[in-house]
Amino acid sequence: GCPSTCRSISFARGSETLTHTDFSLPGCFALQWSRTYRSSLAALDRGVFGARWITPFSTCLDVLKQGVLYHAADGRSH
């Protein structure tokens, strides 16, 4: 992987990523709700959970002159 600190900062990318679990419910149908902060994800500054916080269910589309730019929950744009 890329060089990084013991915590959440990637030296190669110059970005910080951290994941926070808001709640976890055990049982037969266990449920866990987590969100991730990515400092490099400027496309989601208007996110529902706050600037640059995403969940596995986050979706963001930017309408451009050339088409549409999709920003995935993993931080990549297509």
Q: How far apart are CA 34 and CA 18, in angstroms?
A: 10
Which three-class secondary structure state does DSSP give residue 43?
helix
Local confidence band at 4 (pLDDT 50, 70, 90 cut-offs) = very low
Answer yes or no: is pLDDT of 22 > 90.
yes
Give per-residue burial for 47-71: e unless 16+ CB within 10 Å, then b: beeeebbbeeebebeeeeeeeeeeb
Report pTM: 0.66
Average pLDDT over residues 24-51: 87
- Name which of 47, 67, 45 is nearest 59 in CA terms: 47
Instruction: Specify the pLDDT at position 34.
Output: 92
Query: Is the pLDDT higher at 46 or at 65?
Result: 65
